Amino acid sequence: MARFTLVVKHLGIAGFVTLTSLLAAWVAIAFLIEGNAKFAVVFSVVAFLLDILDGVLARRLGTESPFGRHLDSMVDAINYSLFSALVTALVLIPGILGWIVGFCILACGILRLVLFTLEGFEEAADRLYYRGVITPHLTLAVGAIFFISHFITLERWVVAPVLLVVAFAQLSSIRTLKTGVTAFWIPASLMVAIGALVWL
């Protein structure tokens, strides 16, 4: 009981939002496995928005901590890497090739998140940068391919190399500027959810 109380204390408000984000991602995965792409996308967007919110809350409330950073990375592995891997294996490239590419997406995503937890941001000219392609951007690439595939046929020999390159780019030294432009990402993600409800 004391350990449970300690976990609750460590979580705080931001941590509970992180777990709610995980729940939304879990529901998205359930819909994906059931073949309901529409609600899989909608709940993945909810998970993304909650992922933004937990960071904002932690900074505003001054509750940032090593526990929160580790929890966020663990949940990101599910929200982005696992979800993207399953979309790849079940929808974009069904079959053994899809599972291989999906594994690369998952493994590289987890390794990238571990590296980020250890190293943090790179600072240059008073600006913060991520190292490598970040996991939400890979999910964005998977989502873009998924939407495009509803309008034109994309051959697996085209999709597989593209996703492999993006997957391994997560471990590269490519610098990605930390913009923090939530004013763009929030309406953009809501448009994705609306698009899923209309077109999928």
Q: What is the mean pLDDT of residues 85-90?
A: 97
In this predicted model, what pLDDT tens digit does every residue of 41-67 receive, in sequence order?
999 999 999 998 988 888 888 778 888
Whether the predicted pLDDT of 184 surpasses 80: no
CA angle 191, 170, 166 (to 5 degrees): 65
β-partners of residue 123 are 128
pTM: predicted TM-score of the whole model, two decimal places: 0.91
Architecture of domain 2-199: Up-down Bundle (1.20)
Whether the predicted pLDDT of 6 surpasses 80: no
In this predicted model, what pLDDT tens digit does every residue of 98-117 receive, in sequence order?
999 999 999 999 999 999 98
CA dihedral of 80, 82, 84, 86, whole degrees rounded to 10? -160
State how far the Cα of 13 lies from the Cα of 198, in Å rounded to an integer: 34
Q: Token digits for 133?
A: 């392609």
Maximum separation of any 2 CA atoms in the chain, in Å: 56
For residue 151, the model assigns a pLDDT of 86
In this predicted model, what pLDDT tens digit does every residue of 119-135 receive, in sequence order?
888 888 888 899 999 99
Dihedral sign for Cα 158, 159, 162, 167, please. negative
State how far the Cα of 92 lies from the Cα of 149, in Å rounded to an integer: 8
Residues in the chain: 200
Q: Which H/E stretch holds residue 122?
A: strand 122-124
For residue 30, the model assigns a pLDDT of 98
**Boundaries of every domain in the chain:** 2-199
Whether the predicted pLDDT of 180 surpasses 70: no
- pLDDT band, very low/low/confident/very high, at 177 (cuts 50, 70, 90): confident
Contact between 41 and 193 under an 8 Å Cβ cutoff? The reply is yes
Q: What is the mean pLDDT of residues 140-164?
A: 91
Of the two residues 182 and 154, the one the predictor is more confident about is 154
Residue 71 φ/ψ region, left for φ over 0, alpha for ψ in the -120 to 50 degree band, beta for the rest: alpha
